[in-house]
Amino acid sequence: MSSGCRICGGKLHEFLDMGKQPSANGFIDPAETSDEFQFRLALGTCVGCGMVQLVEEVPQERRYHENYRYHASGSVLHRRHFENEAGRLLGAELNGSDPFIVEIGCNDGVLLSTVAEAGIRHLGVDPSTNVVELARSRGVRAVTEFFDAGLGESLRDEHGHADVIFGANTICHIAHIDSLFRGVDALLAPSGVFVFEEPYLGTVLDHKAFDQIYDEHVFYFGVASVAAMAERFGFELVDVERTPLHGGEIRYTLARRGARSVRDSVGALLAEEQAAGITDPGTWRRFGLEIDNIREELTRLLRRLSSEGRRVVGYGAPGKTSTVTNYCGIDSDLLPFVCDSTRSKQGLLIPGSHIPVLPPEAFSNPYPDYALMFAWNHADEIMAKESEFTASGGHWIRYVPEVRID
Ligand code: JHZ
Ligand code: ZN
């Protein structure tokens, strides 16, 4: 059972139970499928501060370790996005004398490699050794650690204050949020900014992106809940901006309370959230019914295609694939394999559903009749790369925001 809100201790109102699920990036060896770890994937809203969060959680050591499978540089879209983001920070924030940026969850150095090239003092912090090694090979200075209060203090003692603390698809993964903010408080310069971009609750709702719900995403940030969280820990949400990755995220900029003026963007998005009823229990009850429908339609479609003798395979093995296949009960009978360009996922099985992950070459050898697009947030890049598939009569299947054949 949950012990309440991780931010304010308030009671969690549970609104969605997606059943027993594995850790989404816990790809497994075909020889080691017994005794697979599972937890109950359920979401609740805090009645005190409004933060949507997992009811139960998976220990962080199980999620981040020497074999973290997600490599942030795996798409052109991501590389360009973080190059631009680094450029923006270099121009707007890292322009004083001897500036310093710390990235929490630097992964393979997708952002910091640009900062390193510019010769700016930086430090990546990431608990997963394998991705830290990749970052180092790109000239990034990085340490293998979980960020918390103690680390924030020791980094300040060793390197001095940071002008920017950055995180992308990381801050919502950190359950010990109080310790995280104490670390940020210790490390951040008085006029510095804490910037993070993360999956957006509003996008989950609009796109019915139920596959963004998995163990790594402990929190489902919204503008109102992040503003409340910032305030609780002595900060202020001063700017928000929509960014395009993962179907639509928000970049939050926090400063120490009163240190910067609050941009109009904050009020504007808050108003949008209110109009959308993002915190209303009824909204999420409907969401639960809608995703039940997606599950029914998708499995019905896959069963029909299978009974008609059509070949269907999956494209992409993002963390999302685990939620979709396990929630919908899709196994290797319905989907013999998925292909993915990440070498360290190939040869392994999707956790829970045990669908094999093969290299992209398997896709064209020969092309299937239909391909289920799991990496839908990279659809433009993938469909352009695989244009031969549709040219030769193949069809893409989408499942968010609705089941559809293209
Ligand atoms: P992608 C990530 O989740 C990880 P995931 C993390 N947990 C998080 O918080 C969220 O983002 C927000 C493959 N691919 O980016 C590579 C191809 O095969 O949607 C990846 O395995 N061919 C930190 O896992 C997957 O698709 C291609 O051409 O949902 C995409 O994973 C391309 C472009 C990608 O992240
Ligand atoms: Zn709370």
How does pLDDT run along the chain (406 residues), one tens digit per residue? 457 999 999 999 999 999 999 999 999 999 998 899 999 999 999 999 999 999 999 999 999 999 999 999 999 999 999 999 999 999 999 999 999 999 999 999 999 999 999 999 999 999 999 999 999 999 999 999 999 999 999 999 999 999 999 999 999 999 999 999 999 999 999 999 999 999 999 999 999 999 999 999 999 999 999 999 999 999 999 999 999 999 999 999 999 999 999 999 999 999 999 999 998 889 999 999 999 999 999 999 999 999 999 999 999 999 999 999 999 999 999 999 999 999 999 999 999 999 999 999 999 999 999 999 999 999 999 999 999 999 999 999 999 999 999 9
Secondary structure tally for the chain: helices H, strands E: 13, 17
Residues, CB-to-ion distance under 5 Å, ligand 2: 5, 7-8, 10, 46, 48-49
How crowded is residue 272: how many other Cβ atoms within 10 Å of its Cβ?
12
Has residue 65 been placed in a domain?
no
Residue range of the domain that includes 340: 282-405
Residue type (1 letter), 374: F
Residues 142 and 253 in one domain: yes
Q: Distance between CA 204 and CA 174 in Å, rounded?
A: 19
Among 243, 258, 273, give the residue marking a domain's end: 258
Among 58, 201, 338, 342, which residue has the most ligand 1 atoms within 8 Å of its CB, making it the best to mutate? 342
Among 58, 207, 218, 246, which residue has the most ligand 1 atoms within 8 Å of its CB, making it the best to mutate? 246
The residue contributing the CA closest to ligand 1 atom 10 is: 169
- Which protein residues touch ligand 1 with a CB less than 6 Å away? 70, 74-75, 169, 199, 216, 246, 316-320, 340-342, 360, 375, 377-378, 381-382, 385
Structurally, the chain folds into a number of domains equal to 2
- Residue-level pLDDT at 38: 97
Whether the Cβ atoms of residue 189 and residue 161 lie closer than 8 Å to each other: yes
Cα 213 to ligand 2 centre (Å):
19
Residues 191 and 225 in one domain: yes
Among 221, 242, 258, give the residue marking a domain's end: 258
Distant-in-sequence, close-in-space partners of 82: CB < 8 Å, separation ≥ 6: 72, 110, 111, 114, 168
Atom of ligand 1 nearest to the CA of 77: 33
Residues 110 and 225 in one domain: yes
Among 378, 380, 399, which residue has the most ligand 1 atoms within 8 Å of its CB, making it the best to mutate? 378
Residues 203 and 90 in one domain: yes
Biggest CA-to-CA distance, the chain: 67
- Residue-level pLDDT at 281: 87
Residues 92 and 198 in one domain: yes
How crowded is residue 80: how many other Cβ atoms within 10 Å of its Cβ?
10
- Residue-level pLDDT at 2: 54
Has residue 391 been placed in a domain?
yes
Instruction: Using alpha carbons only, give the angle 98, 102, 104 rounded to the nearest 5 degrees.
Output: 175
Residues 145 and 190 in one domain: yes
Q: Closest Cα to residue 298, out of 382, 374, 392? A: 374
Residue type (1 letter), 403: V
Residues 369 and 249 in one domain: no
Q: Is 162 left (phi over 0), alpha (psi -120 to 50) or beta?
A: beta
The residue contributing the CA closest to ligand 1 atom 30 is: 318
Whether the Cβ atoms of residue 168 and residue 126 lie closer than 8 Å to each other: no
Instruction: Using alpha carbons only, give the angle 120, 123, 124 rounded to the nearest 5 degrees.
Output: 130
How crowded is residue 296: how many other Cβ atoms within 10 Å of its Cβ?
12
Among 340, 343, 348, 377, which residue has the most ligand 1 atoms within 8 Å of its CB, making it the best to mutate? 340
Has residue 241 been placed in a domain?
yes
Q: Closest Cα to residue 82, out of 52, 53, 103, 57? A: 103
Has residue 322 been placed in a domain?
yes
Residues 226 and 333 in one domain: no
Q: How many CA atoms lie within 13 A of 327 on its CB side?
A: 30
Among 201, 223, 258, give the residue marking a domain's end: 258
Has residue 36 been placed in a domain?
no
Residues 205 and 308 in one domain: no
* Side-by-side strand order, sheet with 142-143: 142-143, 121-125, 100-104, 162-168, 188-199, 249-256, 235-243
ipTM score: 0.98
Q: Distance between CA 324 and CA 326 in Å, rounded?
A: 6
Give the CATH number, domain containing residue 236.
Answer: 3.40.50.150
List pLDDT tens digits, range 79-89.
999 999 999 99
Q: Distance between CA 126 and CA 146 in Å, rounded?
A: 6
Q: Distance between CA 201 and CA 219 in Å, rounded?
A: 9
Has residue 328 been placed in a domain?
yes
Hey, is 326 helix, strand or coil? helix
Residues 200 and 328 in one domain: no
Give the CATH number, domain containing residue 351.
Answer: 3.40.50.720
Q: Closest Cα to residue 64, out of 127, 147, 153? A: 127
Atom of ligand 1 nearest to the CA of 172: 9
- Structure token digits, residue 68: 């973290």
Residues 394 and 309 in one domain: yes
- Residue-level pLDDT at 1: 46
Residues 303 and 374 in one domain: yes
- Residue-level pLDDT at 279: 85
Has residue 39 been placed in a domain?
no
- Residue-level pLDDT at 99: 98
Has residue 64 been placed in a domain?
no
Cα 43 to ligand 1 centre (Å):
22
